């Protein structure tokens, strides 16, 4: 499994004010690594693992209720999984709000 702790930190380590292209490239790598069944989408359990790792990496507590709410909002077609487009749209908006992306 490519989704071990060291590998994750290397691939997802965000720096302040990165470009949108840099952020999306890092996000794509994290998405692909989290897609454990390699179907091109993140089911809720796969997205949850990724969200937990991001929260841990940022020194935040994982909030199950907030995760579920955000997953459902990002899942535009309500099919129970997130395409990269659905996932990146939500993540990019959050990153811009937090000043991670210039």
pLDDT by residue (tens digit) across 7-54? 555 555 554 568 899 999 999 999 999 999 999 999 999 999 999 998
Please name the residue ranges forming H helices in the chain.
5-12, 20-34, 44-57, 64-74, 84-97
Check: pTM over 0.85? Answer yes or no. no
Give the pLDDT score at 22: 92
Residue 95, pLDDT above cutoff 60: yes
Alpha carbon of residue 30 to chain centroid: 7
């Amino acid at each position: 499994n490519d989704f071990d702790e060291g590998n994750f930190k290397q691939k997802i380590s965000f720096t302040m004010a990165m470009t949108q292209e840099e952020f999306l490239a890092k996000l794509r790598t994290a998405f692909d690594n989290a897609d454990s069944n390699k179907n091109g989408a993140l089911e809720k359990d796969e997205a949850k693992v990724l969200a937990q790792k991001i929260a841990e990496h940022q020194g935040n507590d994982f909030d199950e209720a907030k995760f579920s709410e955000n997953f459902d909002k990002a899942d535009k077609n309500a099919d129970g999984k997130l395409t990269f487009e659905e996932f990146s749209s939500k993540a990019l908006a959050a990153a811009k709000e937090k000043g991670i992306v210039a």
